[in-house]
A and B are shown apart, each in its own frame.
Chain A
Amino acid sequence: MILVRITSYYRPLLFSVILFFSFLQPVVSQEQKHQNGISGPWLIQQVIPSCSWTCFQQQTNFAFEWEAAPVLFSFGMNKLNPKWHFFKVTQPERFTGSIELVLSTQLYTSKVGTSYWGFSGQILAHLPLIEYGEYLGLNFGIARYTMAGISSNYFVGGLSTFFGFLHYNIKYSPSDKIWMNIVEFRFF
């Protein structure tokens, strides 16, 4: 599994890449008349976290999760729509068929007074199963999670439904023998 641990050496590079893609968004937008770019209301909405329940072998943790898709390649949309998307993605662009990089940060809470942060990078493929993925979609990929300072690599597989708002994923780390069952109400 090829996953890069983001050391402090790489962080400025990653930041530059994200910045580059942010500026690229309006350039891509010009190819299609009405491609909605990153806007103030969209940015404000990104502050609202998704909610997830993660079942580990021994406990279930609730988490708030903030997710970003720095880059997504969409292959199920009509000819007018661009293939590449940076940060701002509509549900059909994702769930009609796509491959995306997802970066996210999670705030896990297990009991009152105990919480910890998690960070993850995932490469996910989405395939539509019913109604172009709006009713049911399949996703799979690879992920690297760092939770409470411990990092592990995972295989990811799952389903999404209800227009991509509701997700069920199984994540398995072969090296650390960790299973995660995750139900997520994803807010975009």
Chain B
Amino acid sequence: MTRFIVQSLAQLPVSPDTVTGKIEHPVFSQVGLSVLWVGHATCLIQIGDKVFLTDPIFTNTAGMISKRRIEPGIPASSIDRLDYILISHIHFDHLSYGSLSLLLKTATMLLPPGGAEYTPEFGFSEYREINTWEVFEADGLRITAVPAKHFNGRYGFDIPWLDYDACIGYVIEYQGKTVFFAGDTAYDPEIFKNIGSKFTIDIALIPIAPVEPHDFMIQVHADPNEALQILEDSEARIMIPIHHRTFIQGMDSSLTFAEDQLKRLVSERHIEERLIILGIGEQRIFVP
């Protein structure tokens, strides 16, 4: 913990690395399925005419201390259409007030159970808390909140106050495409096999970091090996790793520590065709 704080404080005056060749217009008038990794757990997903943004964070720090190392892949202002903001839990790097204030107000904000107690008024058109396995439906769209294995609270001392599981993931189903956003989660075979049995997932956005200290992190974060197990259990066609390379997290020795491990494991298992590692700011059109 001390090493993490010292590392983060030392980085505070340092500007994040720049992202070159940023996409100026990331939202299409219509697209089959596209995903753009903004960084950390922030993904801009578009299915047909609907635009989703997961756990938006565009600020230079998460929770005042944890320092962003690479700037966001796109500026928040370039998202000129936004229908849904999906929040997985209330930690600083997933419910970022400064980032949410930058976004278009047309969006509906979906929150985990208890999230409303931690959400200021940003002016969004609607706020909705959604329980695990609850389904939000609108205009032929289905968004299901699915369980995640993580930990509650925002400030530490409030963890015991929250008497329910307030960390979730989401499965988006629209126009025959299914995207699974796992949020921030550790591995739990029951959870992910259950998700796999209920949905036919095209793309799974799965966190792979932080890894170290492993004995602690394994209880709340999936490591690359477990992320691949989530891919197997959820029976997703393709995995995109998230929640890595963006902020100083845990005690990983480098920003690419988890990514390097993931690449090695994928190569050993010969499942390269199921893994797509997006760069920060990179957009992939899966279905035109």
Contact = CB atoms under 8 A, between A and B. Distances in A.
Interface string A43-80: 00100000000000000000000000000000011111
Contact of A135 (B64, B116, B121, B155): B64
A169 interface: no
A35 B117 contact: yes
A84 to B, nearest CB: 13
Contact of B162 (A36, A91, A162, A165): A36
B117 A79 contact: no
Identify the interface centre among A90, A135, A162, A188: most chain B CB within 10 Å of its CB: A90
A78 B113 contact: no
B216 interface: no
**Chain B: interface residue count, which band?**
20 to 34
A88 B97 CA distance: 22
A42 interface: yes
A134 B155 CA distance: 11
Contacts of B98: 131
Contact of A33 (B109, B113, B120): B113
Identify the interface centre among B109, B113, B121, B162: most chain A CB within 10 Å of its CB: B121
Given A33-B129, A135-B64, A79 B121 contact: yes
B163 interface: yes
**Chain A: interface residue count, which band?**
20 to 34
Given A80-B129, A81-B116, A132-B97, A41 B160 contact: yes
Nearest to B130: A33
A32 interface: yes
Contact of B157 (A32, A88, A96, A188): A188
B120 A77 contact: yes
Interface of A: 32-36, 39, 41-42, 45, 76-81, 88, 90-93, 96, 128, 131-132, 134-135, 162-163, 165, 187-188
A187 B162 CA distance: 17
A36 B122 contact: no
B119 A77 contact: yes
Interface string B11-35: 0000000000000000000000000
Nearest to A76: B120
Contacts of A35: 114, 116-117
B129 A34 contact: yes
Given A34-B113, A34-B166, A35-B117, 5 more contacts: A36-B117, A77-B121, A81-B116, A131-B98, A132-B97
Contacts of A135: 64
A92 B160 contact: no
A186 to B, nearest CB: 11
Contacts of B155: 91, 163, 165, 188
B118 A45 contact: no
A187 B129 contact: no
A91 to B, nearest CB: 6
B157 A78 contact: no
B122 A78 contact: yes
A90 B158 contact: yes
B117 A90 contact: yes
Nearest to A44: B160
A24 B276 CA distance: 52
Contacts of B114: 34-36
Given A34-B113, A92-B118, A162-B64, A131 B160 contact: no
Contacts of A131: 97-98
Interface in B165-183: 166
